[in-house]
Chains A and B, each alone.
Chain A
Amino acid sequence: MEKDQRKIENKNNQRSPIRASSERNSRVGRRRFLQSAGVVGAVALAGCADDDEDVVRLGATYIFSGFASLYGDEAERGFEMAEEEINENGGINGQELEIIQRDTEGDADSAIRQMNSLVEEDGVHGLFGLDSSGVAQAIAPQAEDIGMPYMVTHAATPFLTSPVGEHDNSVGNDYVFRNCNSLAQDMFGAARVAEELDADEWATIGPDYAFGYETWDYFRDFCEGLGVDAEFTEEQYPALETSDFSPYISAILGAEPDGVITPLWGADLTTFVSQADDAGWFDAIDYTLFSVGMGTDLPAGGPLPGGQHASTRYSPFTPETDENETFREAYYDEYDTLPTYNAEGAYRAVYMYKEAIESTGSTDADDLVDAFNGMEHSGPVGDYRLEERTNQAVVPAIWGVVSYDDGWESNVLDPVEVYEAGPEELESALEGSDLPTGV
């Protein structure tokens, strides 16, 4: 009797590894089969997602190719670090964490295909990522449609977290969240900076797409709402990947503003800064505000000129918490550079999923959405909550002065100013404007 039981146990013990290996084989076999079956048009027989109970799967969707691939590369460092840390410390609820990364190519068609593939073929339990606001706005209704939580970590348009119906462009819904600060929060900070500066006339030079225009719209409306004594004189929108900024630079210099706000990023920012410097920009214009400039500065080797103002969605030095310091040190050890906000956003998104899954004990999409709604969380960026109405993280705007730090061998923001940018602050500052706060 006892013997028999042991036998059965042995059998069970044996069976599981065998089953696992045959599953693995069959998966490869199925892939092969799919590829050839596709050619004969008989894909109908193929199986669906692997339902492996012991793994928590998350899909990471960023731009990994082309002009903006630096954002995907930065994010990858963040979520890989989180994945390693979590798996070394027992996983999520004892389950192993697997992150599958896909390239959105910065284009809505590809992003939607990748999202569908992650959900239906890989059986992911949740999604995170997205760099481009345009792509994020196309994805948002689809995420709701398939009922999958999407933690956006970079795309900044306020319309993403403004509930559908609030504004013509609003696409916010129950399934889409954002864990980093939005363009509205960033521009609120910019207006607060402008308030302090001795500058009356303002201009902008931004990339020729929604991000460039929205930056200017929000900056002006926040300035007006906060009662900043400012005139808005000149706006220039060079196309993405412009190689010669001189006509735009001359136009701005010709208008002789006191301050300029620029949301240029990536290679464009680097090119612009060197050409502006040659044209005597930083002598002629008192204040240049580089919104989101720090996201480019670190991976590009520090093109931002010292003494100018820049913002970031996350600072490696503020808040001065153990959590932030631990993350910064670990990241620096691993990659030899300070973490950018894109790396931190991706890193934190993984931990948010961990917390949501552990608190609900479930990987069910609707349970995760419930857990995220109004979630209070803490990460390198500090303590914050996801606002219930919008699913936007209530994180501060961070602005500071660019200065070179010999110890870290890179630009940092010092001194740095943190502006609380919750729904109340933004609502009162946007009173009279038709722009949504998205918080």
Chain B
Amino acid sequence: MSGDEDGTRTGLAAFGSAAVTDGWTRERISLLVAIGLVAMAFAPSFQVYLFTEFLIIALFALGFNLLYGYTGLLSFGHGLFFAGGSYGVAIVLRDLGPVIADVVGSGIAPVVTFALAMVIAVMIVVVVAIPVGWLSVRLEEIYFALITLAFGMLGFSFILQNPGGITNGTDGILVLLGSVEIGGMDVRLGDRQLYYFLTLGIVASATYTIWRIVNSPFGAVCKAIRESPDRAAALGIDVTHHRWMTFILSALFVGIAGALMAGLASVASPYHAHWTNSATAVVATVIGGATFFAGPIVGAFIYLYVRWGISRFPALEAHWELFFGALLIAVVLYFKIGAVGGLLLLRERLFGAETSTDGGGETE
């Protein structure tokens, strides 16, 4: 939804231009979305939680899709970077929290610590992504998927081994954000609304950055490589190097998502590095449509809210995997270009408008 602000701008570009005659300008739509996002903070508490989680998963999938949808490399190990983000935050909060409190005073320490933890977490992720990416991008297709899967599970095992007591093994690390005193008021950092706005701000800026990246010359090269690595190489592009850089960028955004998740769920769990978590990004992207910028966002929305919808009905919850699986099969069978593609096709049938294929929203 946040992504809708930026993301569906492409997907719905045609819609926008067709609606302009009716007064539905891009600005107005953006304004409405922005109002909706702010209003979201005043929804029932659990909805704020769920929506925050959706924003995080959306960023996770968007970061992943930079590599998959835009560069043509299917990674099955992005959970590694997600865990890098969450563990980075958790470890800094646990081990450096008291040190930082001594330096800046206990009043604002939690904010400074969390900000610093985010930065350090993302730096850790980048440091890990550099060698992992360098080794992985030498391979393509299924081999690339397998080596990233291997790296992801290597990270998972590493966390379980609890080297030097740093990752706390299978139990994971608790993340306690603490509260800040501002003008005599006690403000909890982990407060649902506050954390929602924090997440919204970070995810929206990250989404905008990704949007700029995919529409830059850098992004154009990514797409060229996706379409034909040989032809891209013939044009003088260093394919391996470019893939490496995209890999690192992709990991960076996934790391931000992981760091936000640690604060939301209050735990850095080894499960974050497990391949099933990596698969979350893959599934969300495939549901939404990898070839659309907004695909991962819509996919993440469907992924999380369908799961939530099922849990609201005890009869469905008892066999939720069955219904969830049926949904996936339906999407794969009937929406070959994902939910966003399906929505655009639907709109075309209903309004007869041409599907826009410019910007990041090209179809194959």
Contacts and interface: CB of A to CB of B under 8 A. Distances in A.
Interface of A: 31, 34-35, 38-48, 64-65, 100-103, 107-109, 112-114, 116-117, 120-121, 133-134, 137-138, 141-142, 157, 169, 171, 208-211, 213
Nearest to B37: A41
Interface stretch (B224-232, B243-251, B259-267): B259-267
A297 to B, nearest CB: 24
Given A43-B51, A108-B265, A134 B309 contact: no
B314 A101 contact: yes
Contacts of B272: 109
Contacts of B308: 117
A169 B172 CA distance: 10
B160 A208 contact: yes
Nearest to A133: B171
B39 A209 contact: no
A116 B174 contact: no
Given A134-B269, A137-B171, A44 B311 contact: no
B46 A101 contact: no
A434 B172 CA distance: 21
By secondary structure, the A interface counts as helix
B271 A109 contact: yes
Among B4, B170, B261, B308, find the residue whose CB has the most chain A CB atoms closer than 10 A: B170
Interface string B167-185: 0111110101000000000
A65 to B, nearest CB: 5
A46 B43 contact: yes
Contacts of A45: 43
Given A109-B267, A113-B49, A134-B171, 18 more contacts: A34-B47, A35-B305, A41-B4, A44-B39, A102-B317, A108-B172, A108-B269, A109-B271, A112-B267, A116-B45, A117-B308, A134-B170, A137-B174, A138-B265, A138-B266, A138-B267, A138-B269, A210-B170
Contacts of A138: 171-172, 174, 265-267, 269
B44 A41 contact: no
Contacts of B301: 38-39
A102 B301 CA distance: 20
21 contacts: A31-B309, A31-B312, A43-B47, A44-B40, A46-B43, A46-B44, A102-B311, A109-B53, A109-B261, A109-B272, A112-B267, A113-B53, A116-B45, A116-B49, A117-B50, A120-B44, A120-B49, A133-B171, A138-B172, A157-B171, A209-B160
Nearest to B306: A35
Contact of A121 (B270, B271, B312, B317): B312
A169 B171 contact: yes
A208 to B, nearest CB: 7
A101 B47 contact: no
Contacts of A41: 1, 4, 33, 36-37, 40
Given A65-B320, A113-B49, A142-B266, A44 B271 contact: no
B44 A47 contact: yes
Contact of A101 (B39, B44, B270, B317): B317
Contacts of B1: 41
B318 interface: yes
A117 B311 CA distance: 9
Contact of B318 (A35, A64, A157): A64
A102 B172 CA distance: 22
A378 B1 CA distance: 52
B321 interface: yes
By secondary structure, the B interface counts as helix
Contacts of B172: 108, 134, 137-138
A35 B312 CA distance: 11
B42 interface: yes
B46 A116 contact: yes
A215 to B, nearest CB: 13
A46 B308 CA distance: 15
Nearest to B54: A38
Nearest to B161: A208
Nearest to A159: B171
Interface string B148-164: 00000000000010000
A237 to B, nearest CB: 10
A102 B53 CA distance: 18
Given A101-B314, A117-B308, A108 B267 contact: yes
Contacts of A213: 169
A328 B271 CA distance: 37
Interface string B128-164: 0000000000000000000000000000000010000
Interface string B103-120: 000000000000000000
Contacts of B36: 40-42, 44
Interface string B308-351: 11011010011011000000000000000000000000000000
Nearest to A65: B321
Given A35-B309, A65-B320, A101-B318, A107 B49 contact: no
Nearest to A140: B174
Contacts of A102: 311, 317
Contact of B168 (A39, A44, A142, A169): A169
Nearest to A139: B267
A140 B170 CA distance: 16
Contacts of A137: 171-172, 174
Among B311, B312, B314, find the residue whose CB has the most chain A CB atoms closer than 10 A: B311
A135 B144 CA distance: 32
Contacts of B174: 137-138, 141, 171
Contacts of A44: 36, 39-40, 42-43, 47
A109 B265 contact: yes
Interface string B21-53: 000000000000100110110111111011101
Contacts of A142: 266
A307 to B, nearest CB: 32
Contacts of A117: 46, 50, 308, 311
A108 B171 CA distance: 9
Given A102-B311, A108-B267, A120-B46, A42 B39 contact: yes
A133 B172 CA distance: 11
A106 to B, nearest CB: 8
A169 to B, nearest CB: 7
A229 B265 CA distance: 46
A133 B46 CA distance: 25
Closest 4 CB pairs of A and B: A209-B170, A120-B46, A41-B36, A138-B267
Contacts of B265: 108-109, 112-113, 138
Nearest to A209: B170
Nearest to A69: B321
Contacts of A210: 169-171
Contacts of A112: 265-267
B362 to A, nearest CB: 24
A209 B43 contact: no
B271 A46 contact: no
A165 to B, nearest CB: 13
Among A44, A46, A137, A211, find the residue whose CB has the most chain B CB atoms closer than 10 A: A44
Interface string B208-247: 0000000000000000000000000000000000000000
